[in-house]
Amino acid sequence: MADAAPHRVAILVYDGVTLLDVAGPAEVFKEANRFGADYRIVLLSPTGADVTSNLGVRIAVDGAVSSETAFGTLLVAGSDLYPRARVPGDLADAARIPAAVAGRVASICTGAFVLAAAGLLDGKRATTHWKVAHELAARCPTCRVEPDAIYVRDGTTYTSAGVAAGIDLALALVEEDHGPDLARDVARALVVYMQRAGGQSQFSAPLKGPPPRSSALRKITDLVTANPCGDHSLGELAKHLNVSTRHLTRLFHDELSTTPARYVEDIRFDLARALLDQGHTATQAAALAGFPSYESMRRVFARKLSISPAAYQRRFGTARRVNAGQAQAG
């Protein structure tokens, strides 16, 4: 029987493209070839001219989008440029034209903005980097943006989160093509997770938002921020302003779109994350952040991040203690 035709993967690049958005997925497909896959990677630009990445590295391309006929997979890499500016028409066209004949279309990180400009996310579910998910939703109002997803599949359209998530997505595509065993071999060879636990929330910045407009509510938020461990029950907070609990709840809803209890929880959660980042144990972090118990903190982490405090700390805790231990052991 004749060998199956190679699976052609075209990566759309352009000036200012994020280099890791290109190199990460390409490395996954190249590594998959070592385990029996047959991916052929081509780099294409809108005009066929070489491009310069965000790091100033020149990327030699294989040709123009118009010079190619069909692909198994079209990947659109991202850039810091286009969440801040509108996607040029020629770049949107460079994604739209080959997408019509590709078996599947995928974006890495902010490459979703190019897909959206090309009309390829209309009526679909999608994701992008958590920092700009709101902007994608504004630019493509018919698209249902899922800001916490690592990657999203909607039919034959795939979108992924921040730059390293392009590796997660490429592994998922390899698994779709060749099954979990080969994809697992690739993940092990690259020393990455086959599938990461939790969503993008575990990588997002601590709570930041506009201060309350009213001085009364600002007094309460300043009180909670200054002393997260205090008694911040609804009744106690209302006493500080000499208002009813109902009135205080309405203030929080109108100005901050949350409840007093949820605001207190968010402040404690952000402090606990910072304490875990600094190397405190989970029990210490729970106490110092004002949680009634470790279990109450664990439930908040599970709800917000879909991972435990211990799992969060393994991913983001300081490496200084580990390095020191290695030095002593050496």
Of how many residues is the chain composed? 330
The answer to whether 312 and 301 have CB atoms below 8 angstroms apart is yes
Written as six digits, the tokens of 82 are 């286009």
What is the distance between the alpha carbons of residues 296 and 307, in angstroms, rounded to a whole number?
Answer: 14
What is the distance between the alpha carbons of residues 70 and 26, in angstroms, rounded to a whole number?
Answer: 18
Residue 201 Cα distances to 13, 57, 206, 304, 309, angstroms: 28, 31, 10, 7, 13
109 is catalytic: yes
The answer for residues whose C-beta is within 8 angstroms of residue 306's C-beta and 6 or more apart is 197, 198, 199, 201, 202
Rg (C-alpha) for the chain, rounded Å, is 24
Active-site residues, by number, are 109
